Amino acid sequence: MPERDLQYLTELAAQLRVDSVRAAARAGSGHPTSSMSAADLMAVLFACHLRYDFEHPGNPANDHLIFSKGHASPLLYSLYKAAGVLSDEELLSFRQRGSRLEGHPTPRLPWVDVATGSLGQGLPVGVGVAMAGRLERLPYRVWVLCGDSELAEGSIWEAAEHAGSEGLANLTAIVDVNRLGQRGPTRHGWDTGAYARRFGAFGWHTIEIDGHDPGQIDFALGDARNTRRRPTAILAKTRKGEGVHEVENREGAHGKALKHPDQAVDELGGPRDVRIEVSRPDADAAPFRFAGNGAKPPAYRVGERVATRTAYGAALAALGSARGDVVALDGEVADSTRTEEFGKEHPERFFEMYIAEQQLVAAAVGLQVRGWKPYAATFAAFLTRAHDFIRMAGVSRADIRLVGSHAGVAIGEDGPSQMGLEDLAMMRTVHGSTVLYPCDANQTAALTAEMADLDGVSYLRTTRGDTPVIYPPGERFPVGGSRVLRHTPGDRATIVAAGVTVHEALAAADQLKEQGVPVGVIDLYSIKPVDTAALVEAATTTGNLITVEDHRIEGGLGDAVMDAVSELGPRVVKLAVTDLPGSATPEEQLADARIDRHAIADAVKRLL
């Protein structure tokens, strides 16, 4: 590398450190020392290897850079300033109310693909973006800046194994091995070999370098670009707080603005105005997309008995035929979730993620970065393992579709470890989420298609056992709607149910009618957003609501109904799973949980 280039890169890195110190000092908080350790790495990447058109962040040929160590946001924002897309004034708005420059990066900035900051997530999402690159046949690269502390997260190794086994050569992890975490030294300190052995065991090409030597960094990045058939991990030994004696390689300085920022800036050589001309992609490229043929969704006869999970599988396969942008992911339960139907019809768009639910959700987030429509399915119970990834998908404003099968005690003999009983509450709390719970096959098919164009995180809950088809094919079920299945002017109460309990509610209503007690029944298939108008009408006309759900009593359908009508003051009785189930038949499970037709009828009688 010519001397002038080394001098330029050194000056650029110094500027990035200065600006990281200044931004955190103005905010009075932040992570400048974590930014300073990686400044040389990012200076060389931006100046010599990144291919990105900042004027057109949607250019499909652009590389992707993900700061998995999202707390190093001052460094990222300083890079944007050096690239000429942020002003110094905006840089100094870091962490202030209304600023786009939040404490950890989010897609409020057009050059940020996903929100990061919950550690161990950037690399798994990067795997999904790299998968998209292979799928759409584009040459862009995915660069992920990781911290050494987050390599203790199991999700990092889920990502490492998947990327290695798939040979994702367009993916490079740049690990900032600065030795110090939040409270002290990391597990392996500066032993880059320890990390190299782990990545190497998963089939990665590894390179160990001095992370403050621009020549070594340039070589490593070039080597990564030229490596074929496997991803690359660059293990860069660095010093936290590099360049400032007060904090360099010192414990206790994590996550704090420097005490003497002016002195630090002087020590770093003062403010600069170095600019980076980031190379644009060689040419615009059109991402490959599969053709659609207008296939129709499955149709089931009223009176048939079909599991909603079966209808989901058939509907997803048909949707994949109709739309070339739909992809499906599975957590090694495709035969149970029925996602295997999509895999048979569209094998090139089906991704087996194995039993790695964090990587399952992260890959879906990465795929949607590039405009794909991912559906990711596993047992409802096992999605709880990926809750933090789902939460961060909401922060990222990611458009992903999650499907949880085998929900509730209705699964029967498998017992409580397999029963999704917390999923509705979990999904309702996610920012901007949609939560759907169909009761029959035709409703499931309609909602599966409806999800394709929803914004944000959407969730479809399906049932293991066969249930009666009560709706004719071809009907629409808009998000935020409901269906009134029983209603008379003399109704003395309204039963509100969803999924498997709809059928129990209908049976209870028929039983009560024979006893001279008319009640209404609402199928609340959209649990978020909820049909407030229908619930308010039921609350004001009958004054009594019975909610019944195959879910824990906290946070599910009952609470959704309460939120909608609480100001009106109706009597609301919530029937839900309150005890710890064991093994029993589905019918016995519903009875033991007191959410079957007999329990519903008894609850109405007690209320009245």
pLDDT tens digits, residue range 243-262? 999 999 999 999 999 999 99
**412-to-381, 434, 495, 540 alpha-carbon distances in Å:** 14, 27, 24, 37
Strand order in the sheet with 457-461: 350-352, 326-330, 373-379, 400-405, 457-461, 434-436, 526-528
Q: Catalytic positions, please?
A: 357
Decide if 275 contacts 422 (C-beta within 8 A): no
Six token digits for residue 584: 């029993």
Q: Determine the residue type at 464.
A: R
Kindly state the tokens that stand for 312.
Answer: 């989901």
Q: Which tokens hold the place of 30?
A: 């932040």
Please list the residues that pair with 143 across neighbouring strands: 65, 172
Query: Under DSSP, is residue 541 helix (H, G, I), strand (E, B) or coil?
Result: helix
Which secondary structure element, helix H or strand E, spans residue 66, and what is its range?
A: strand 64-67
What's residue 2's pLDDT?
67
CA–CA gap between residue 165 and residue 187 (Å, rounded):
26
Can you give the residue ranges of every domain in the chain? 3-267, 305-468, 483-607
Q: Are 159 and 167 in contact (CB under 8 A)?
A: no
**Cα 337 to Cα 362, 384, 513, 560, distances in angstroms:** 19, 16, 37, 26
The answer to whether domain 3-267 has CATH 3.40.50.970 is: yes
CB atoms within 10 A of CB 310: 21
Name residues whose C-beta falls within 8 Å of residue 162's C-beta, 6 or more positions apart in sequence: 127, 353, 354, 356, 359, 363
Question: Buried (b) or exposed (e) across 394-428, using 16+ Cβ within 10 A?
Answer: bbbbbbbbbbbbbbbbbbbeeeeeebbbbbbbbbb
Q: 408 φ, ψ to 5°?
A: 80, 180
Structure tokens at 238: 């660095």
Look up the CATH architecture of domain 305-468.
Answer: 3-Layer(aba) Sandwich (3.40)
Give the strand order in the sheet containing 520-523: 483-486, 520-523, 494-497, 544-552, 571-577
The pLDDT value given to residue 294: 82
Eight-class DSSP state of 530 = -
Same fold, 305-468 and 483-607: yes
Token readout for 219 is: 């070589």
What is the reported pLDDT for 141? 98
**What is the per-residue pLDDT for 511?**
96
CA distance 48 to 12: 12
> Which residues in the chain show pLDDT less than 70?
1-4
d(CA 563, CA 429): 13
> Which residues face 513 on adjacent strands?
none
CA neighbor of 175 nearest in space, from 141, 211, 140: 211
pLDDT for 162 equals 98
Q: d(Cα 234, Cα 210) in Å, to the nearest integer?
A: 10
Contacts of 183 (CB under 8 A, 6+ apart): 254
Length reported for the chain: 608
If you search the block for the tokens 């309460």, which residue do you land on?
562
Task: Count CA within 13 A, CB hemisphere, residue 508.
Answer: 30
CA angle 550, 554, 555 (to 5 degrees): 90
Q: Which fold has domain 483-607?
A: Rossmann fold (3.40.50)
Place of tokens 């509705």: 424
457-461 and 232-237 beta bridge pairing: unpaired
Distance CA 506, CA 499 (A): 12
C-alpha 53/C-alpha 386 separation (Å) is 33
